[in-house]
Structures are given as structure tokens and as C-alpha cells.
Amino acid sequence: MNEKEHDELLDLANDHAEGELSEPQRQRLDDWLQADEGARRIFADFMHDHAALYWDQVSETPADVIDFPASSVLTRLNGVWGIAAAVLVFAAVLFFNMERSGEDSTFATMEKTRAAKWESGNLPTAEGARLGEGSLRLAEGLATLRFDSGAEVVLEAPVEIQLVDQMNCVLTRGTAVAEVPESAFGFQIATPTANVVDYGTRFAVNVDSNSGATETQVFEGVVEVEHPMSNETVRLEAGQRNYVAGDEVSEASSVPEEGDWAQSLPVLRRGSDWTMVPTAKDAYVMSYLLKEHNSEELLLVKNSGTKKGPSRKAYLGFELGSLNLDELAEAELILHFDPTGWGLASHVPDSEFTVFGLKEAGLDGWSKVTMTWENAPANVLGHGAHLQSDAVEKLGTFRIEQGVARGAFGISGSALVEFLQAQTDEVATLIVVRTTEEELPGGLVHGFASRRHPFLPPPMLSLRVAE
């Protein structure tokens, strides 16, 4: 902004302060302020001076700076609260002075931890602890931080984060999911490669611990991903994601459709003798159609018992044909849970999930597109968790604590190993149900990442074959 423009802006601000803007002036000012952040700052500062001239001449100005009659103290504090407020003016001045001299340096609270194991870091980690500037390293579990601005950040281990102030933190590795209310618009998560600025929304950021690459996905609202190296900004809306690595910034893209995402799923190896096999197909069925409460990314599981509520069961298909399972020594099923946003987590008890194997080979041919509650293999229609007992084999259970909606859960053990070895038709179908019924209608819907999830791993069998 050149000097002439700066002067024009102050003139407009002055006329605005006096309530004397003409319509063309108002239009000019309005457009200018919307388009120019620098102008907003100048304007806001000018208007704040204007406000301070009005307020501070009266109640808070030290008497030795400007002399004014004591009676005028009441003129700014009239109306319904006048008397009570006047009584407390003394206290207010006292508080105000305290605030100026030594303000509490904390700005966030460790709201909740689940199965949390902390590594080095210089901040307290107990639930309820107040947090100031410093760092946290979570090795295992989940931790929820609430910033005084209203922003809530859930840390998913392994994760490392530095807290800067109530509107800023730095994520150096791992995954953080932020929920930002209106009061915290502009909340920012900086990473080694990007600044993710939130405008009232729910979003997840993942930082790769080796490369510092940043992946951002928006569930609701709008987020801006700034790339300081190129000064580029990518705006992400609900359902979009992007990726920043080094000097590369990807465009905003929609959460991928089934097809193209599938190709990018490799068989991962975990150590030389472990093989990770993602689902070749996965789906869930629902006892009745609830249009809004569907997900492509998550496989939903819910048990409404025999009640009419929308129960859901998940089906996982693994192709094991290329693997020799004769020497299978260990097997694990790993599911990455993520909040579905439906139902109140805090109102749901600890939940038990059961994983069944589908015994009959002839039933493994189900497809995501055509499978329904009515034709799903082994499904018992009248119940949210039951399956036809002669068609399935119980392989194991796992438990998710009340209030936890994220994290990796699963089963392992000899029942799973033996079931996988017994599969003769190269496809193994596992069925996941929630054994725990909801206590009240409208309870939490659990969900774990499907093979279509943009950044969480798909349901995965981790297999170790003995040498």
C-alpha cells in the first residue's frame, strides 16, 4: 500500500468512525477491506484507537495521565448492570492491572488421555493439566488437547507437537485431528512443510516423520494450506485433501473413488518375515437405509440390538491366493478406527467387537455394489450383531473404551491363523460386528477405515510365515 492509499484508508476509517460515509465510500471501503488483509489490520487498529479514546478516558485511564471527574465513571457503565458493575469497578481495575503485569502463561488443557504413554517433552501430561508453551511427545494412545481459543486437537500416537499459543501449534510428526469452533477461526497447525490454517471445521493433518511431508484432509468446513517455500496457498473444502512435500504442493483433490485408490495399495512388508495384506474388497451392510449416515471411506459398525435402529455389520475380503499359508505362524487383523461424527461418543459405553470368519467358500463371492442387509452372507436380519452360527466361526474380540473413536484395534491368535489356513478358495471373508448394544437409540456409530480411506491404512492382515 502506497502512502496515498494509506491516507485514503485512514480518511475512510475516520468518516466511518464519525458515521459519515457516503454510499460510494462505504462500498469502496467494504470491497477494500474484504480484499486486502493489510488494509483490515490498519483499519482495525485505527478503529481500536477510536474505541480506546471513548472507553479509556473514562474507566481505566490512570488518573495522573488524564484528569477526569470521578462521577463520569458511571457514564460508561449504566443500565441493568450499572449498580453491580459499579460496585465491582474497583475490582475490575485491580484485575486489569494484574492481567497487564503477570498474565497466566498457560493457554491449553490436557483434556483427555486414553492408554497414553508419553515420551520426553517438557509439559505436564496428566488429565486436566494446564499447558503453556512447550512440547509433547505421545508414544502410544490418544490425547485430547483443548486450547483456550476453543480449538480441540486430538493427537494420535506416535506424534510430536509443540504448543505455541492458543491459536498455534507445530506438528513435527504424526497425526493430529483438529476440531475448530467459530471462536478459534484462524487456528493454525504448522508442519515442517506447510501451514494449515483452519476456518471453522474438522480436519486431519499427518506429517511423515522422515520427509516432513504433510497430508491434510478436511471433513467439514474450509482449510487453507499455505506452502511457505512457494508462497502458494491451497484452499481445501469438505471432502478434499492435499499433499505437500518439499517444494511440491498438490492441488486440492476429492477423496478418491473406489477404483484409483485401490491401485495405490501395495502389499506392505513389516520386517522381512511379515506380509501385510490389505482388503481386496470391503463393505458394510445396514439394516435400513439412512441416506445421510453413509460413508465410502469408513466401514460402519453399529448394534441397535433387535430395535429398529440402523444396525451395521462390516465385511472384509482378503485375497490370499498368492501366499503360501501352510507355514503361517502368526496372524493379526488391524483396523484403523476414526470418528464417524454420528452419535455422542461420551454417551456410549465401552464396546466389544467380534470378528467372525465366513466358513463356507461358496459365500465369498459377495460384492460391495450388490450386497445388502438381506443378501449379506450369514446375516441374521433381526439382530444388530448376530450371524448364522453354522456359517461362521468366531475368531476373536477386541474392546474399545468409552469415548475413544480413533486408533488401531484388531485381533490375533491361533483361531485366526487356523481359519486363514483352512480357506481353500483363495478369498477369506471376515465379518466385524459390535457385540455391545447401544443403551439408548441414536448411539455412537463406530467406523474404521475402508480401502477407500484417503489416508488411514485399509483393514489389514499382518501375516508371519515361518521360515
Partner 1 sequence: MTDTDPNDRTEAFLRLLAEHERKLGLYVTGLIASPQDAQDVLQEGKVIMWRNFDQFELGTNFPAWARKILFHQILAYRRRSKRQPFQLSERTLELLSEESESAIRERRWVNREKALQQCLLKLTEEHRDVVQMRYRDEASIEKIARRFEKTEGAVYRLLSRLRKNLYQCVEQQTQPSS
Q: Which residues bind partner 1 (CB under 8 A)?
A: 7, 10-11, 14-21, 23, 26, 29-30, 33-34, 37, 40-41, 43-62, 65-66, 68, 72, 76-81, 84-85, 88-89, 91-92, 95-96, 99-100, 148-150, 165-167, 182-183, 185-186
Closest to partner 1 by CB, 79 vs 362, is 79
State in angstroms the smallest separation of the CB of 161 from partner 1: 19
State in angstroms the smallest separation of the CB of 31 from partner 1: 9
Q: How far apart are CA 243 and CA 358, in angstroms?
A: 38
H/E segment holding residue 239 = none
One-letter amino acid at 79 equals: G
Nearest alpha-carbon partner for 311 in 381, 408, 402: 381
DSSP 8-state symbol, 187:
-
**Cα–Cα distance list, 250 to 170, 222, 339, 448 (Å):** 21, 17, 26, 26
Closest to partner 1 by CB, 61 vs 421, is 61
Strand partners, 188: 168, 197
State in angstroms the smallest separation of the CB of 82 from partner 1: 10
CB 250 within 8 A of CB 242: yes
State in angstroms the smallest separation of the CB of 61 from partner 1: 7
Residue 319 has a CB neighbour count (10 Å cut-off) of 14
One-letter amino acid at 80 equals: V
State in angstroms the smallest separation of the CB of 96 from partner 1: 7
- Burial label for 231, CB within 10 Å (0-12, 13-18, 19+), is exposed
Q: How many CA atoms lie within 13 A of 341 on its CB side?
A: 13
Closest to partner 1 by CB, 166 vs 287, is 166
Closest to partner 1 by CB, 88 vs 465, is 88
Closest to partner 1 by CB, 9 vs 205, is 9
Q: How far apart are CA 277 and CA 266, in angstroms?
A: 8
State in angstroms the smallest separation of the CB of 150 from partner 1: 6
- Please report, to the nearest 10 degrees, the dihedral formed by the alpha carbons of residues 340, 343, 345, 348 taken in order: -130
Closest to partner 1 by CB, 40 vs 308, is 40
Closest to partner 1 by CB, 105 vs 209, is 105
Nearest alpha-carbon partner for 317 in 272, 363, 267: 363
Closest to partner 1 by CB, 188 vs 304, is 188
State in angstroms the smallest separation of the CB of 205 from partner 1: 21
Closest to partner 1 by CB, 46 vs 373, is 46
State in angstroms the smallest separation of the CB of 181 from partner 1: 8
Beta pairing class for 188-190 and 168-179: parallel
Does 158 sit behind a cis peptide bond, omega within 30 degrees of 0 on the bond before it?
yes
State in angstroms the smallest separation of the CB of 34 from partner 1: 6
One-letter amino acid at 178 equals: A
